[in-house]
Structure 1
């Protein structure tokens, strides 16, 4: 929501004990005790009066029993998670029974083939495949997972209604039906570069291992790899195509 950044949400959580409790307060109380300005009150009023989007998307708070325990242990745990898909997939993520596959958005044919093969083999072995649903390697891994009738998990850097890139809209819908999509970004939140880097902390914390398939020096995949190393998550790297200059 416009005007509701992380600092504002954390303040509401500190004052009222939780975001769920804040949402049940009368608007005058929110304005006075939550230090909300007139514009924020108007935005919140409109949001509360707006019917939920279709198909229904679900919401998890840290106090919810279904909220994944590994996310609570982060230095910066998400204040909320918006999700859609098969709720049974959360159990896999809670015990980190999943593998992440990440890599270049402009991947070579060699990398795309490897990513799709990995996604298929992991699905055959019963392991959910986690990625950021970016173009290139992420998308290829999820196509392989879907082909193997597995459980794909997309950790989005945008809100759930937004496909980024747009070319992945159909794939994102398939992932939401076969597995799970989730994001810490609320509906209507503008696309910001920092959100894509921030979601990597969520992705890494929920997996047993991270596989990097072709990784430019400046990329989200490299950020994820560094986070994996810092967290002690096993890091696997697919050999580069020796024939590519």
Structure 2
């Protein structure tokens, strides 16, 4: 896949440039493949918009040429909303297929997005990434595996990529945020939306310490058809995809197969033969995925060391991020108090096992009530 001619500025600062890209991309009746062919042939969205009818009919046919002549629904409103969104935060960008910063790994896939909305550390797009995906209803062991492996990979400098869903995705993002690799959340909505709502605090933390990414226009709700499209980006951004837990009919298997089709590695964690959540992983293993028991199984397969990221996790982050409503009803929060504490200290106070306490602490992290700090410490967030 080659880039369209020309280079687009980092935030599409020119109103006419933004207008041209949004007019081209967010329309009905013309697919992404057709739009990429037009850009390759004509060079830019502005050139597509000014092309005469005869040229368009030769390139895409009568029906799609007519569709290209019609502006997308609510186009003026979308341009204004996108401009206001970009102006609202210095780490927001609209990245296009023509931009020199477009991620090379994604460019090499069969269906790279024409346009990406970003908020956060856009330099993570150039980092070596590993996708970690799995069930929205995982077992406690699955949650622990996802968080532990994501943390270890992030410590080794790998950026963790996932889809912000409940369950395995959330645990993977949290693990990525613990170390230098950080995390990228690829979502199936506009970046002004958060889905699921329970991950509002997590999404804000990722926007500050990692990167939020979407190809969908601002205001776009979570439609079912969007998630397979999102999955191809998760697979395409990364060197490999790890499936932690998945049923046989799972979106995670779609992501894994899209990774294989893009020539990327596929990894899977085996489970009990009696567990429905292990059957998807077992199916991938039968198809040739690499079995994973420890992080070394992944690192040995990928071989080279990634570019080192620079993420400074400090206690200050925990103090400024928003939290959900305070509560004193939770046993673990009561045991934690308001000073940082180790897992061993909490085990002594609660009388819980390490595995049960780790799962509950992860749930409290996802709710925005607890922060996991460097040095194996946990701290109750301000207001919790």
With the shorter chain as reference, the TM-score category is: 0.7 to 0.9
Question: CA offsets, 1:98-148, max 9 Å, x none?
Answer: 111000000000100000101110111111101011110010011112233
Q: Larger Cα Rg: Structure 1 or Structure 2?
A: 2
Equivalent residues in 2 for 1:122-137 (5 A)?
Answer: 122-137=153-168
SS in structure 1 opposite 2:213? strand
Equivalent residues in 2 for 1:209-220 (5 A)?
Answer: 209-220=240-251
Which of these residues, 141, 144, 153, is aligned with residue 175 of structure 2? 144
| Corresponding position: 1:74 with 2:109 | yes
Shift of 1:62: 0.6
With the length of structure 1 as denominator, give the TM-score of the two structures.
Answer: 0.82
Instruction: Name structure 1 gaps, 5 residues minimum.
Output: 26-31
Q: Which position in structure 1 is the counterpart of 2:222?
A: 191
Instruction: Name structure 2 gaps, 5 residues minimum.
Output: 1-21, 51-65, 277-384
**Contact 1:159–1:188 under 8 Å retained in 2:** yes
| Corresponding position: 1:234 with 2:258 | no
Deviates more, 1:140-149 or 1:130-139: 140-149
Which of these residues, 122, 126, 142, is aligned with residue 91 of structure 1? 126
Matches of 1:223 and 1:190 in 2, distance apart? 21
| Corresponding position: 1:18 with 2:52 | no
| Corresponding position: 1:60 with 2:95 | yes
SS in structure 1 opposite 2:94? strand
Shift of 1:191: 2.4
Question: CA offsets, 1:154-196, max 9 Å, x none?
Answer: 1111111111111011111111111111111111223221210
Which of these residues, 24, 30, 37, is aligned with residue 7 of structure 1? 30
Matches of 1:73 and 1:123 in 2, distance apart? 24
Q: Indicate how the Cα distance of structure 1 residues 157 and 47 shifts in structure 2: closer, same or farther if over 3 A, else same.
A: closer
Matches of 1:102 and 1:49 in 2, distance apart? 35
Question: CA offsets, 1:15-48, max 9 Å, x none?
Answer: 874336678x8xxxxxx994116xx4x7222233
**Contact 2:239–2:265 under 8 Å retained in 1:** yes
**Contact 1:104–1:219 under 8 Å retained in 2:** yes
SS in structure 1 opposite 2:230? helix
Deviates more, 1:141-150 or 1:210-219: 141-150
Matches of 1:213 and 1:33 in 2, distance apart? 43
The CA RMSD over aligned residues, in Å, is 2.9
| Corresponding position: 1:164 with 2:188 | no
Matches of 2:250 and 2:266 in 1, distance apart? 16
**Contact 2:30–2:68 under 8 Å retained in 1:** no
Q: Which position in structure 1 is the counterpart of 2:135?
A: 104
Matches of 2:223 and 2:114 in 1, distance apart? 18
Question: CA offsets, 1:78-108, max 9 Å, x none?
Answer: 110110111221221xxxx111100000000
Matches of 1:208 and 1:167 in 2, distance apart? 29
User: Higher relative contact order by CA 8 Å / sep ≥ 6: 1 or 2?
Assistant: 1
**Contact 1:11–1:34 under 8 Å retained in 2:** no
Deviates more, 1:154-163 or 1:47-56: 47-56
**Contact 1:59–1:82 under 8 Å retained in 2:** yes
Matches of 1:132 and 1:159 in 2, distance apart? 13
Shift of 1:202: 1.3
